[in-house]
Amino acid sequence: MNEIIIGIDLGTTNSEVSIIENGKVTVIGDGDNKMLPSFVGLNDDGHIIVGETARNQYLVYPERTIKSIKRIMGQDIQVTLADLPYSPQEISAIILKRLKAIAEDYLGLAVSKAVITVPAYFSDAQRQATREAGEIAGLEVMRMINEPTAAALAYDTQGEEARRILVYDLGGGTFDVSVVNIESSVVEVLSSHGDNQLGGDDFDQQIIDYLVEHIKNTHEVDIREHSRAMARISRAAESAKFVLSEQPYVQIDEEYLLEHDGAPIHLSLELSRMVYEELIEDYINATLDAVHIALKGAKMSSSDIDEVILVGGSTRTPCIRERLLNEFGIEPHSEVDADLCVAMGAAIQGAMIAGQQVDTVLVDVTPYTYGTSAMGFLDGLEYPFLFVPIIHKNSVLPNRKTEAFTTYHDGQEAVDITIYQGEDPDALNNIKIGEFRVEGLRDVPAGNIITLTLGLDLNGILQVSAQEKETGLEKNITIKNALSQFESGALETAKQRINSLFGQIEPGIIEQEFIVEPLAPEIIAAQKLISKAEALFDKVSSEDKEDMVDLIEVLTHYIETKDIAELEKPTAELNDIIYYLES
Ligand code: AMP
């Protein structure tokens, strides 16, 4: 057997090691954790500690712990650990040695060869230092490959066709964006740009500042002077950030943070995703600027890009996906774990060098987007059926996401929720797969928050639940065949049609609430016209409004009875009025 070549992602925040086993890529964990925090320290007894223990220690004993050594790789400076100087290569070697040991433990044999990834922007000196770190750790570095190259390899080991891929990599402390060309597993980096001082740590810092400010305002204490309390706040901030990647709100509770004037200080605060997104907006804008610079470097525009790949833990932040979707008009890929895909690509490269066969690493994803409709703006006009995606196409299954909505009218006591499958910004052009009503809401002004949770499992079962945030009042539905809803819906309709020809419709075959009947274009046109007319109500005379209301009533009736032929006349009349009002 050829000697195994391990793949290593030597990251600023976390590092990982991966191998190919029976053609499959495996990221090897240190215990349950597949990511080894890139922290090195000396403990109370003077022993070297690496990974999670060192990371925990950093919060309390930063003077005995080193983080982010990657930032100074290739520079002629030394770091001090318990009064002794070390080169960046030596500290990196300690991390590499730990990764090597993790692989050896798992495999039960000695390992001496590795492929290590480096950022595309790394200079010769930085690459040389990385190679030396490998040697110090007892690893022959068979090849160093660029991180975006590794990510592209993890996504495509077999494709023959040439594709241009934008790799957006936002980790804990660095951001890189690269345009790569991939063809027959040969990956070429066409351009690269980034900021090695921007990442998820900055997002944490924004939340930390927000919490510190809150404590200052409510308790008149500057918690920054209390390092142990700050350590807890840092942890709480990162945990809150994780929750906000899945949910629109997070409750942050930290009891007995410290004592002030003899009284304990507790932190209890709700943070919304909306506020969080405002806190990090400048950073996201900066990454988008870098994306444009990278595109320019490759002499391309957004429309030349065939695929967008998300790499790095921070790309789980939902607004990043949204911004990239808007920019490129294509759903970014995240089906290979964003934290692990660079290490996987390194192992794939290692296997290629060793002449091993590798299977594709792709996992189960949803081929459709699922969401609901809400009042919003479409083509600059207020529109009641704006599609709001909740679970995006290409998301890994199983998947569960929550979004918040608000009631539109004062005293609104019910909301009707419709679930759609599709990609069109106009919900009515997507496939309706379920609807339900939540009643008995509190009698409060408009703005009552309703959270909507969608959970899609591997079998295509979609669990939908809506909840009034303040009271917990909840309603659920299950859509049994969401992944093939269109096909099964069409199938059932055909079955019903054939059965009716024979005069023997079997009752109960169809779950009426969730059946999908593709709507006739005339009905869709009439529905759109009605919303357009309603949007004009504020601007028209009462006489015109009365005519419009009458026509809307007639149209609504024929939409309900699905009397397509009868729709033509009132549709034309309402169209004329709108045309006249708009001209
Ligand atoms: P990496 O350097 O790729 O390992 O990414 C680490 C960064 O990703 C850290 O800043 C983490 O806090 C961040 N991160 C990991 N998971 C999530 C998540 N679910 N939502 C937001 N940020 C995350």
Please give the structure tokens belonging to residue 390. 């909740």
How many CA atoms, within 13 angstroms, populate the side-chain half-sphere of residue 357?
3
Q: What DSSP line would sit under 148-192, residue for residue?
A: HHHHHHHH-SS--S-EEEEEEEE-SS-EEEEEEEEETTEEEEEEE
The DSSP letter of residue 529 is H
Cα distance between residue 502 and residue 294, in whole Å: 63
* Residue closest by Cα to atom 2 of ligand 1: 171
* Residue whose pair of structure tokens reads 């070390």 in the numeric block: 86
Q: How far apart are CA 53 and CA 41, in angstroms?
A: 9
Give the separation between CA 230 and CA 145, rounded to whole angstroms. Answer: 38
Determine the residue of 9, 13, 319, 400 to mutate for testing ligand 1's pocket, defined as the one with the most ligand atoms within 8 A of the Cβ atom. Answer: 13
Which residues lie with the beta carbon below 6 Å from any ligand 1 atom? 11, 13-14, 171-172, 199-201, 238, 241-242, 245, 312-314, 316-317, 339
Catalytic residue among 16, 132, 147, 327: 147
- What is the Cα–Cα distance from 166 to 451, expressed in whole angstroms? 33
299 catalytic? Reply is: no
Q: 467 in helix, strand or coil?
A: strand
Low-confidence ranges of the chain (pLDDT < 50): 485-488, 490-491, 494-495, 497-517
Sequence-distant (6+) residues with CB within 8 A of 317 are: 170, 203, 241, 244, 245, 280
How many Å lie between the centroid of ligand 1 and the Cα of residue 388? 25
Give the tens place of pLDDT for each residue, 484-513: 543 445 445 544 544 444 443 333 222 222
Q: Pairing relation of β-strands 113-118 and 307-311? A: unpaired
**Whether the Cβ atoms of residue 313 and residue 174 lie closer than 8 Å to each other:** no
Q: How far is the CA of 102 from the centre of ligand 1 (A)?
A: 22
In the 3-class helix/strand/coil scheme, how is 475-506 assigned residue by residue? EEEEECCHHHHHHHHHHHHHHHHHHHHCCCCC
Closest CA to 174 of 67, 34, 328: 67
Does residue 423 carry a catalytic annotation?
A: no
Task: Look at residue 487 in the predicted model and tell me its pLDDT.
Answer: 46
**DSSP-assigned letters across all residues of 306-336:** -EEEEESGGGGSHHHHHHHHHHHSSPPB--S
Helix (H, G, I), strand (E, B) or coil at 270: strand
Atom of ligand 1 nearest to the CA of 13: 2
DSSP letter (8 states) at residue 33: B
Backbone angles phi, psi at 276, to 5 degrees: -60, -45
Which pLDDT tens digit goes with each residue over 8-24?
999 999 999 999 998 89
Distance 180 CA to ligand 1 centre (A): 23
- Take atom 18 of ligand 1 and give the residue whose Cα is closest: 242
Whose C-alpha lies nearest to ligand 1, atom 14? 313
**Do the Cβ atoms of 205 and 173 come closer than 8 Å?**
no
Average pLDDT over the chain, rounded to an integer: 87
pTM: 0.72
User: What's the CA gap between 463 and 452, in Å, rounded?
Assistant: 10
**Ligand 1 pocket check: which of 174, 311, 314, 400 to mutate, most ligand atoms within 8 Å of Cβ?**
314
Q: Where are the alpha helices (DSSP H) in 394-512?
A: 485-501
Nearest to 425 by CA among 348, 329, 511, 349: 329
What pLDDT sits at residue 457? Answer: 83
Which pLDDT value is given to residue 512? 25
What is the pLDDT at residue 227?
81
* Omega cis (within 30) before 398: yes
37-62 confidence digits (pLDDT tens): 999 999 988 899 999 999 989 877 88
